[in-house]
Structure 1
């Protein structure tokens, strides 16, 4: 049977195999994260529902953000999520969005005594972020120079809680959950942006359109909102 399948694939393109999409993401709960051998999260569930709706095979792999982003830039049939869509990144990918509309805020550990009423005042502090994360770009564009760059979100959070950095950017949606689990507090707002699925530039147009239509339907039917409520987040803008 396998031999017949191989011969068939040599004779004509195997559509199912050709349209297997490789998704990459990072460990950033509650959006995308590992729990044992399972990959879960509010954006993971949206990707799963989109792909189930269009009936296309896919894989999801969690890895450091810099690698996840790089693969989606260079590997055909590869998409990375959840990716901030900004002017610098716009021409680099084909976009399926929004998985969410989010603001990023700068937070500090409770009791640190660190205050900043605006971004200019925040620039005197050491800010932690992740290598190749869009927040690294935002911080540089806004004139932040005292940056501490780690490999992933959890490493940055550990530095914040241990006092090795003064502040870090975080999704405002996630902050509501995090502050119930960790001694952190908001300092000021950093930015606002849509987050989506970013696919390598040669990604098939027809498949891209089907994914976008499936996400549009998930949003219109209220499915996206229900997923975020499940993870303890409110999508009100």
Structure 2
């Protein structure tokens, strides 16, 4: 009986383990300035900075990788501990992910080049034009749902913008916040409002709820403290809230 007693005493004398640090969260996003993009070897953007700050505030390890949108979207659906940003929270996507939001609240508008002669009009009137978007973006499905008959799908946002500037498409959807900045450098005009959008972080369905909650609380704090608005201002953007 002595040996079991000694073993029990030895176990009781071991220090209690403290709380374990959360596993690393893997973030995936696309090249979509000014929200996420590379400048040399540095990853920048309004959404990138928000994600980095909120994860630091929540004390959770993280990695960010830039991928083509379709690959990033697929990874966030199938890979545990993976989150995608900046993602429009549409009804279709609501139950596919766990959400941390908003990184951005905005209207999505259709824009044209100033030289095209296309001017602001009703959304119904834009159905006669070729509308460009990129594969897997929520606007691709939205345009189909709104019965736009002529949709041109590119591989990513920069490719769509190049097509617009080169006259290969007539219109493209874009964040109104970004448009207000982009029109200072590019001859673009607003044509119509396509939709209202709330965009955030979409995490794989099995993502731990306690970690998601810490992330949401950290983002809420960034918004309340005015940090989110300051990040937008740093990039020449004006937040809606």
TM-score normalised over the length of structure 2: 0.90
What secondary structure, in the 3-state scheme, does the structure 1 residue paired with 2:115 have?
A: coil
1:139 paired with 2:143, answer: yes
Q: Which residue of 2 aligns with 1:156?
A: 160
Provide the aligned length of Structure 1 versus Structure 2.
224
Task: Look at both structures and tell me which one has the larger radius of gyration over its CA atoms.
Answer: 2
Query: Matches of 1:113 and 1:54 in 2, distance apart?
Result: 49
Q: Deviation digits for residues 1-39 of structure 1, max 9, x if unmatched?
A: xxxxxxxxxxx9x954x6111101111111111111111
Contact 1:116–1:122 (CA under 8 A) maintained in structure 2: no
The answer as to 2:233 corresponding to 1:229 is yes
Question: How far, CA to CA, are the matches of 2:51 and 2:121 in structure 1?
Answer: 37
**Contact conserved, 2:119 with 2:189, CA < 8 A, in 1?**
no
Call closer, same or farther: CA 1:166–1:153 in 2, change over 3 Å. same
Shift of 1:53: 0.7
1:118 is aligned to 2:122: yes
| Alpha-carbon distance in structure 2 between the residues aligned to 1:80 and 1:174 | 20
CA distance in 2, matches of 1:145, 1:115: 20
Aligned ranges for residues 57-76 of structure 1 at < 5 Å? Answer: 57-76=61-80
C-alpha contact 2:106 2:240 (8 A) present in aligned 1: no
Tell me the residue number matched to 2:223.
219
Please list every run of 5 or more consecutive structure 1 residues that lacks an aligned counterpart in the other structure.
1-11
The residue number in structure 2 matching 1:169 is 173
Equivalent in the alignment of 2:213:
209
Q: Distance in 1 between matches of 2:233 and 2:125?
A: 34
SS in 2 for 1:201: coil
